[in-house]
Each structure stands twice: as C-alpha cells, then as structure tokens.
Amino acid sequence: MLEWLGPWTLYGACPKFHSTLACCDTSVPGYSGCMRVYDCIRASPSSPPPPKIDNCTLGSIVQKGSPCSTDAVSRLSGQIAAEMGKLGVKLVPLSSDQKKHIECLYKEGCSGRMNPDALSSLVKVAKKKKKRITLKSMWRSAAQQYLLYRFHATGKCDQKYVVDRPGNSAHEGGAAIDVKRETVSTWAFALMTEHWKWPLPSSDPVHFAYQSTSKAHSKYSLIAFQRLWNRHNPESRIAEDGHYGKETEAALSKTPCKGW
C-alpha cells in the first residue's frame, strides 16, 4: 500500500523506516516528500494528512469513456518505458532534430518514444518525401493499449479501428505508428519502400508496422507493467508473464492514472 511519508525530516521519527526502506523512488508533484510502501507512519500522530490525489484509475476512464486521449496516463507510461529499459527493450524519445521531421500529437496520446531503428527509418522516409510526418501514435504502453482495447470493446471514445489485446500490439514494442487518416495515401508507398508493413489489417488503414522488429518486443510492455504492479502491490501479486489474463486485466483496471 502507498502511504504518505511526509517531508524528509519526518523519516527519522519512524523507527522501522531505516530497517525496511532504503529511499523513496516516486516523487509526488507539489510535495517535498515521497510516496512509498510503508507500514509505520500510521503510528505517528504528527504525520501530515495524505496528499490530495485524484481518484482516477484506468478502470474509471473506461467506465466514464473520458478522457478519450491516452495522454491521461502519460506519467504511468513513462514508468513502464523505464521498466522496459531494465528488461533490455530500448525505446528512445524524439530528439529536437527528429522533431523537425516527425510531429507527434502528444495531446492525442502519442508518446514520442520508439524503437531506435524504426525511428531512424521514419526520419529517412520524411527526409525523402521532404515532408513532416504527423503521428497519432508511436510506442504505446500496456496502460495505453488497455485503454484503447477497452474503449473498442465497450464502444467508447469512437474507437472504431481494431485494437490488439495488451501485450500483443506492435505499438507496445515501439515498432508501429498510426498516421492521420487523411494522410495515409501520402505516406503509404514511401513507408512501404522503407520496410514498413501496410495495411495491417485492412480494417486499420492508419497503422504501419516496422518489419524487422514488428511484434518482437510487444509483451515486454505488459511484463513491465506487471513488475511495477507487483512492486507497489506486494499483497496482491500477479504473474509477470506478459499474458493479458483476468488478474492482469483487474490490476490494470485498478491502476492509478498517474502511476506510482
């Protein structure tokens, strides 16, 4: 369970602190202290009240069908990307130079991260066409994939294109993009000549997958989520297998939008 620890000066007041925890690792915006699994602060009457954190969960977004942009879970996605890095899956953010050739619609949920080979290929395509390519989606975290998958399954947020189950999309491995619908014909040929597969499937015309990496790393996004969940919910551990089963589905639903 996450508990408010308060500012650093309070740590010494807790006798169990030094024996059970090394340091906090999740800062809370607007507070000088940290959040961390903790079991003794409740005994301290001088503890400050828990910070006010909104009660948004992935499940509540699906239930309300709002917000429809997966941008709502960008902080959690950043944590999943970092965890994927620990698993050896490299995702790189767009550099300022690459942004001259690639526009990522962050507010629409585009993460700005991608497999480095796929990203280089994309820059090459844009340079060849002498045009900036606009993307609605690049790498996608398992949390983002969950939202889109559930939006599609429940008929929310006008999610009409096919969505893979979490752990199964080439987006989650950082090897797929979605372009804007009206620009598909502009980019399709140029992308295909640079090893991007299309259409995949024909019912999802905005989607292109980078051939050499394709879905190889997809499940690691979900494994990264499962590892994070277990680290922050030791009392309700789930399998770290990259499989979207009932327990993982329930864990995703309960996960805070802002992560941990």
Report the nearest approach of Zn ion to the CB of residue 193 (Å). 20
If the CB atoms of residues 207 and 217 are measured against Zn ion, the closer one turns out to be 207
If the CB atoms of residues 83 and 178 are measured against Zn ion, the closer one turns out to be 178
**Interface pick for Zn ion out of 207, 219, 227, 232 (rule CB under 5 A):** 207
Count of residues that bind Zn ion according to CB under 5 A: 2
Residue nearest to Zn ion (CB): 207
If the CB atoms of residues 207 and 219 are measured against Zn ion, the closer one turns out to be 207
Report the nearest approach of Zn ion to the CB of residue 174 (Å). 12
If the CB atoms of residues 79 and 169 are measured against Zn ion, the closer one turns out to be 169
If the CB atoms of residues 4 and 198 are measured against Zn ion, the closer one turns out to be 198
- Give the per-residue SS3 of the chain: CEEECCCHHHHHHCCCHHHHCCCCCEECCCCCCEEEECCCHHHCCCCCCCCCCCCCEHHHHHHHCCCCCHHHHHHHHHHHHHHHHHCCCCCEECCCCHHHCEEECHHHCCCCEECHHHHHHHHHHHHHHCCCEEEEECCCCHHHHHHHHHHHHHCCCCCCCCCCCCCCCHHHHCCEEEECHHHHHHHHHHHHHCCEECCCCCCCCCEEEECCCCCCCHHHHHHHHHHHHHHHCHHHCCCCCCCCCHHHHHHHHHCECCCC
Exposure string of 143-179, with b = 16+ CB inside 10 Å and e = fewer, is bbbbbbbbbbeeebbebeeebbebbbbbbbbbbbbbb
Question: What angle separates helix 142-154 from helix 218-232, to the nearest 10 degrees?
Answer: 100
Report the nearest approach of Zn ion to the CB of residue 73 (Å). 17
Of 72-80, 185-193, 204-212, 246-254: span binding Zn ion (CB under 5 A): 204-212
Report the nearest approach of Zn ion to the CB of residue 65 (Å). 20
If the CB atoms of residues 31 and 161 are measured against Zn ion, the closer one turns out to be 161
If the CB atoms of residues 133 and 228 are measured against Zn ion, the closer one turns out to be 133
Of 69-77, 81-89, 92-100, 205-213: span binding Zn ion (CB under 5 A): 205-213
Q: Which residues, 164 to 183, sit near Zn ion by CB under 5 A?
A: 178
Report the nearest approach of Zn ion to the CB of residue 163 (Å). 8
Report the nearest approach of Zn ion to the CB of residue 192 (Å). 15
Report the nearest approach of Zn ion to the CB of residue 102 (Å). 16
Which residues would be at the binding site for Zn ion (CB under 5 A)?
A: 178, 207
